[in-house]
Amino acid sequence: MECDSLSDRTYNHVAFKINDEEFDIYEAKVRALGVDLKPSRPRVEGEGRSLYFYDYDNHLFELHTGTLSERLSRYSR
């Protein structure tokens, strides 16, 4: 992201969809960068998996294996 560094960390974030089969590959790549990862939050089965991490300027990013429509469908059950 191009902007000033953030002084505080928030939950405001940019999310990117990834394939579930590639989750472990992306997680390894992010961990190799040495950035701060947020602990995973509890998930409802079928909601998908997420990896949250901060860049060096305190911007939060998410890599997620599901879609919004899949999440909403799962929550409606």
Domains: count for the chain? 1
The tens digit of pLDDT for each residue in 63-75 reads 999 877 877 777 7
Sorting pLDDT into bands at 50, 70 and 90, what band is 1?
Answer: low
Local structure of 72: helix, strand or coil: helix
- Overall size of the chain counted in residues: 77
Look at residue 46 and tell me if it is in a domain: yes
Q: Which residues pair with 54 in a beta bridge?
A: 36, 60
CATH number at residue 33: 3.10.180.10
Look at residue 4 and tell me if it is in a domain: no
Average pLDDT over residues 10-20: 87
Give the domain range for residue 29: 13-76
**What pLDDT does residue 37 have?**
93
Q: Which residues pair with 37 in a beta bridge?
A: 53
**What pLDDT does residue 60 have?**
92
Query: How many Å apart are CA 33 and CA 66, to the nearest integer?
Result: 24
**What pLDDT does residue 34 have?**
93
Using only C-alpha atoms, the chain has a radius of gyration, in whole angstroms, of 13
Average pLDDT over residues 12-32: 94
Q: Which residues are marked as active site?
A: 62
